[in-house]
Structure 1
Amino acid sequence: MQSILQYRRFGRHVQKQYERDQGKAQALHVKDDGAESSSSSSASNDRDIEKSASDKPTHLRNAEEDVPTASEQLPPLTPKVTTGTALGTTLTGISVRDRTKSKGEGDSDTRVFVVGYEGPDDVLNPHNWSKVTRIGATVNIAFIGWIVGFASSVDSAALKQASAEFGVSEVTESLATGLFLIGFGVGALFAGPVSETVGRNPVYIATLTLYMIFIMASGLAPNIGSQFVFRFIAGLFGATPLTCAGGSISDLWDPLERVYAFPVFANAAGLVSWRWTEWVTLIISGLVLALVILFQPETYAPVLLAWKSKKLRELTGDERFKAEIEIRDESFATRLGHSLYRPFVLTFTEPIIVSIALYLTVIYIILFTFLNGYTFIFTETYGFSEGITGLSFIGIGIGLCLASCLVPVMYIWAKRALAKAEAQGGSRLPPEFRLWFAMLGAPAIPISLLWMGWTTYPSISYWSPLAASVLFGYGILCVFISSYQYLIDGYEKYAASALASVTLIRYVAAGGMVEVAIPFYKNLGVHWTLTILACLSALLVPVPYLFYLYGPKIRKRSKHAVA
């Protein structure tokens, strides 16, 4: 619904621009007609057109390095009328390019008019939307992330009931959670790349709908096998926000604004019957889907500019108006194929992505192993009921809020860092600035695990492990924020593909660890299990510091990262 209204608004805005600039085009057309009697009229006309195009501001001319040039043998387009050529050179935000003529085409004009925004302040650009609109869109994305994250682990709250109904062990039933996480990882390979082809909103709406269908099927599952299948497929379609959200936030906010915008998404991230866990998830998911359909605008710039070029073709009758995404005249299948193989290329060729993926994989192994221990820590050690044990997770939530308290400090630091970069001739924050969150938060993870591991005794107040969980939540969110923002800033237009690679690796590993976690606690006990996790996380503490020091050198050697 919102995308339809947005498309109509785009059409009205483009029509106003067309009417505003049409007078300049007619004046240029008259000038061209006056020169036609000369034997050199064609050459003169071309010079006038090229002069008109060159008089436009630099940022509106052919600026993008990755845009096809004449040497790339693009199919030619023949102008319909001279007025159209004049209009293409006078409309604000239109770049004029020559394309190689095909054989037998003679002297026909092969210019193409590449449609862009009118300028840095164009109201069609999502970066220039009102803060209210952008915050609303970001909150919608955060809701999507929250509900699929909730769905990934909610089954563990009713593990005993489900295993009893199906007549299987708790370890076997925990596979429903593990398969959901593995589905997350596999689905990430498709959701992000597809969003770079068709836009964000179609992916959000389609995948959320399919995810809800399979959540419902999981709640109706007659046996353990069908529950496993439906949970995996639900995870497959629930992966959307994990890969698309980074792209959406990049669409909406500039690098400085992302200092406080991204944590909004990152933070979002005892029932009567186990089946009610699925119904509650389904109900909340339906509300989130309604919010997306009614209020979430499309934010992907190539798609927005394709809307604009389509409207200009309708107004002018000139097929030479093209958006960047259309200029190669490639089929949808070809463009989609390029997007789908990109995550695999990045995974095997980019050392930054491989390193961050391994880092987050270990962090997620620690996270999901830790979460599975709450039953052993609070139910068995302190005698909490299942409902009260569920409330114990509030400690982690408080820790997430504490991490958010760093945002104002980071924003001040970011402004200073940007001013310094501009003084040295730069124009953007270095991606390594995003690592400050992790550098301030990573040491908290091993400290919290050791603290909880060796104070979980019946003789010690349960407030001690609860306080440790606050520190754990703080450290985990700091690492998550840094890792995601570092990849978004480091890979920009390939951000969704980069996040897809990372998501696949870490969620497949996390899904496997769900199965290992329960035997781990039963065989080693709470104290030694958490000690092993603490030692593992301690080995990772230097990672953000090393990237902060050597990241710029690594990026310079990369084919896809921002240099």
Structure 2
Amino acid sequence: MASSPYSDKPVSQRTSQATLTNSLPDGCSYGSIPSKDGGAPERVIWVDFPPDCRENPFYFSTRRKVGITMCALIYCWYCSMTASAFAIQAGDMCADLHCPRLGAEAGIGLYAWGAGVMPLFVAPVSEEFGRRPVYLCALALLWLFHLMQGLAQNTGTALVARFLTGIAGSVGTSVVGGTVADIFTPAQRGLPMMMTGFVLYFSTGLGGTVFAFVTTRLGWRWTWWIILITLGACAPLFVFLMVETRSSIILRARARALRNERGLGDGGRYISQAEAERVPFLTALRNSMVRPLVFLVSEPIVMFFSLWVALAWSVMYVQIAGLPYMMRTLYGFNTEQVGLVYLTACVGACFGYLGGYAQEHLYRRYAPTRGVEARLYTPMGAGIVFAVGCFITGATASVDIPWIASAIGQVVVITGVMIIYVTAFTYVSECYGMYASSAMASQSFLRNMVGGCVAFGTTSMFKGMTVRWALILMGGIAAVLALVPFAAYYYGPAIRARSPYSRALMRLEREALDAERVQREVRGIDLAGTEDVEGEVYEKEREYM
């Protein structure tokens, strides 16, 4: 059992004690923390969630979880759609603002860089201060920066707006994963994570198609007016449905309310674990900002999955930035025809969803014997599919071969990329529990920084190497990185055992579930939602821990 330095009992034992103390509110128990002046320890009353508590994010009502997930998916939709929307209208924008073609590529790259840098601040801050305020502030900024894009009268304004939009949009690829980890237990995360990946890629394809027609028939500025109108219409959903999902923030509020209501009348000060371990604001902010970088350089799981996803993300940006060039140069397509080719991302997303659905079935079947590594069956195939798709797209990128062959290759690429992306989110979030957002911020930083660099040089790369050899080169790199899920599958338990972060965070999350299950059994409460399909193999892994 994991023990806190501020408590004289492990977490699960403190929860059990609460049921034996009739004078305390349900979920509370006595404990102690060191005295600030070095004297006798201060007696406190730990505040935790009682069994089957609807304030516990894991056990929110189904209706509330659906509302939260819907808001998260809406945010993902807009953050992803805006990337392809910019690419498809970039030609008309550059003609109007008299900017060089490099300005269009810069807009795509700057968006990626903004989305890569900001999670180092946003995701950890959301862990310290709550998800809800981050969502609401980011939504307002996303709307404002799209307005700036629509009103731009010169290239500089347009590019600054793209970078700032990427900053606001970073919530869609970092905090969303943490939100899913907040409200779904490890056994339940597969499908919500899969929906996140599906929305990201499907909206990329649909955005390119829809705004190709908007650009040619209404003008490029209407791309941003339509996004502004629809995004504004979704704002009330966030206000009313996106409640706080970070358990430590909810427990802080509960402890504060109990202190105001009961004072010291129960023989101690009501306090949550997060409050006891709280450090000064600037220290907490610095630690939160550094944690993702620490994960990236010191945690092998985060490091290698981030590299894998960075390559997949780069190929996606090549498709976003390079598809107009490729289709116009090789096949003579106009803007609307290029927009229709973006539908390959939608088709690939659908196939990727089916692959994710099969993975969830395999996980349920093999998790009792393989543990969290049962998340890696379809990703092992997806890495190969991804490489094959790059080879197909590159080999068929020629005026002598019908365009449909290259489009088929792009569908194969997106199918593999989506499964890889969802796996990286799901597997890593489960390995890092309450710090899932920090781990995913590491991934977001690397994949967007690399993807942004590739977007800047896509046209130059295509001109210098030709489309064919540029994509074949990426296929070769993808073939090497396809070894990542195989290595994680066979050596994951040993790697995680050597990680102080992953080992401790997985243990704490599992102990909380165990304590909840025990208390429900004692009280005769339904055990639904406390299932732990990895429980058997987890016990075996204790020998590593």
- Structure 1 and Structure 2 fold alike (TM over 0.5): yes
Compare 223-232 and 298-307 and name the one that shifted more: 223-232
Compare 496-505 and 349-358 and name the one that shifted more: 349-358
Matched, 1:323 2:323: no
The CA distance in 1 between the partners of 2:336 and 2:395, in whole Å, is 24
Counterpart position of 2:24: 90
The CA distance in 1 between the partners of 2:36 and 2:392, in whole Å, is 72
Aligned 8 A contact 2:355 2:419 in 1? no
The CA distance in 2 between the partners of 1:266 and 1:206, in whole Å, is 23
- Give matches, 1:100-499, under 5 Å: 100-101=34-35, 110-119=42-51, 121-269=52-200, 270=212, 271=215, 272-318=218-264, 320-328=269-277, 330-420=279-369, 429-430=371-372, 432-499=373-440
Aligned 8 A contact 1:445 1:475 in 2? yes
- What is the CA-CA distance between 1:226 and the residue it aligns to? 2.2
SS in structure 2 of the partner of residue 153 of structure 1: helix
- What is the CA-CA distance between 1:457 and the residue it aligns to? 4.1
Summarize the Cα distance change of 1:444–1:198 in structure 2 as closer, same or farther, 3 Å threshold.
same
Aligned 8 A contact 1:139 1:265 in 2? no
The CA distance in 2 between the partners of 1:308 and 1:262, in whole Å, is 29
Deviations 1:361-392 (A, max 9, x none): 22222221233332244333333321121121
Summarize the Cα distance change of 1:476–1:407 in structure 2 as closer, same or farther, 3 Å threshold.
closer
The CA distance in 2 between the partners of 1:346 and 1:446, in whole Å, is 27
- What is the CA-CA distance between 1:501 and the residue it aligns to? 1.5
The CA distance in 2 between the partners of 1:473 and 1:420, in whole Å, is 31
Structure 2: 5+ residue stretches without partners: 10-19, 201-211, 504-544
Deviant stretches of 4+, over 4 Å: 86-89, 101-106
Summarize the Cα distance change of 1:218–1:87 in structure 2 as closer, same or farther, 3 Å threshold.
same
The CA distance in 1 between the partners of 2:456 and 2:356, in whole Å, is 36
One-letter amino acid of the structure 1 residue matched with residue 243 of structure 2: P
Summarize the Cα distance change of 1:67–1:339 in structure 2 as closer, same or farther, 3 Å threshold.
farther
The CA distance in 2 between the partners of 1:161 and 1:127, in whole Å, is 48
Summarize the Cα distance change of 1:532–1:345 in structure 2 as closer, same or farther, 3 Å threshold.
closer
Aligned 8 A contact 2:27 2:50 in 1? yes
Summarize the Cα distance change of 1:530–1:114 in structure 2 as closer, same or farther, 3 Å threshold.
same
If the length of structure 1 is used for normalisation, what is the TM-score? 0.79
Aligned 8 A contact 2:393 2:405 in 1? yes
Across the aligned residues of Structure 1 and Structure 2, the Cα RMSD in angstroms comes to 2.4
Aligned 8 A contact 1:183 1:235 in 2? yes
Counterpart position of 2:518: none
The CA distance in 2 between the partners of 1:219 and 1:101, in whole Å, is 57
The CA distance in 2 between the partners of 1:497 and 1:531, in whole Å, is 33
The CA distance in 1 between the partners of 2:496 and 2:278, in whole Å, is 32
The CA distance in 1 between the partners of 2:301 and 2:258, in whole Å, is 41
Aligned 8 A contact 2:113 2:163 in 1? yes
Structure with more contact order per residue of length (Cα contacts < 8 Å, sep ≥ 6): 2
Matched, 1:543 2:484: yes
Summarize the Cα distance change of 1:316–1:470 in structure 2 as closer, same or farther, 3 Å threshold.
same
The CA distance in 2 between the partners of 1:67 and 1:101, in whole Å, is 12
The CA distance in 1 between the partners of 2:21 and 2:441, in whole Å, is 42
Counterpart position of 1:559: 500
- What is the CA-CA distance between 1:87 and the residue it aligns to? 7.3
Identical pairs, percent: 25
Q: Which has the higher helix share?
A: 2
Structure 1: 5+ residue stretches without partners: 1-62, 72-85, 422-428
The CA distance in 1 between the partners of 2:185 and 2:170, in whole Å, is 25
The CA distance in 2 between the partners of 1:381 and 1:394, in whole Å, is 18
Aligned 8 A contact 1:88 1:96 in 2? no
- Give matches, 1:28-43, under 5 Å: none
The CA distance in 1 between the partners of 2:101 and 2:236, in whole Å, is 35
Compare 373-382 and 499-508 and name the one that shifted more: 373-382
- What is the CA-CA distance between 1:330 and the residue it aligns to? 3.8
Summarize the Cα distance change of 1:101–1:224 in structure 2 as closer, same or farther, 3 Å threshold.
closer
One-letter amino acid of the structure 1 residue matched with residue 110 of structure 2: L
Counterpart position of 2:6: 68
Summarize the Cα distance change of 1:91–1:527 in structure 2 as closer, same or farther, 3 Å threshold.
same
Aligned 8 A contact 2:316 2:414 in 1? no
The CA distance in 2 between the partners of 1:470 and 1:143, in whole Å, is 24
Aligned 8 A contact 2:64 2:241 in 1? no
Aligned 8 A contact 1:89 1:95 in 2? no
- What is the CA-CA distance between 1:452 and the residue it aligns to? 2.4
Counterpart position of 1:509: 450
- What is the CA-CA distance between 1:496 and the residue it aligns to? 0.9
- What is the CA-CA distance between 1:96 and the residue it aligns to? 1.0
The CA distance in 2 between the partners of 1:556 and 1:379, in whole Å, is 51
Compare 224-233 and 456-465 and name the one that shifted more: 456-465
Q: May I ask how many residue pairs the two structures share in their alignment?
A: 476
- Greater CA radius of gyration, 1 or 2? 1
The CA distance in 1 between the partners of 2:233 and 2:416, in whole Å, is 31
One-letter amino acid of the structure 1 residue matched with residue 236 of structure 2: A
Aligned 8 A contact 1:155 1:274 in 2? no
Aligned 8 A contact 1:96 1:114 in 2? yes
One-letter amino acid of the structure 1 residue matched with residue 469 of structure 2: W
- What is the CA-CA distance between 1:127 and the residue it aligns to? 1.9
Summarize the Cα distance change of 1:342–1:196 in structure 2 as closer, same or farther, 3 Å threshold.
same
SS in structure 1 of the partner of residue 118 of structure 2: helix
Aligned 8 A contact 2:122 2:171 in 1? yes
Aligned 8 A contact 1:449 1:533 in 2? yes
The CA distance in 1 between the partners of 2:39 and 2:427, in whole Å, is 49
Counterpart position of 1:9: none
Aligned 8 A contact 2:145 2:161 in 1? yes
SS in structure 1 of the partner of residue 448 of structure 2: helix
Aligned 8 A contact 2:349 2:418 in 1? yes
One-letter amino acid of the structure 2 residue matched with residue 504 of structure 1: F
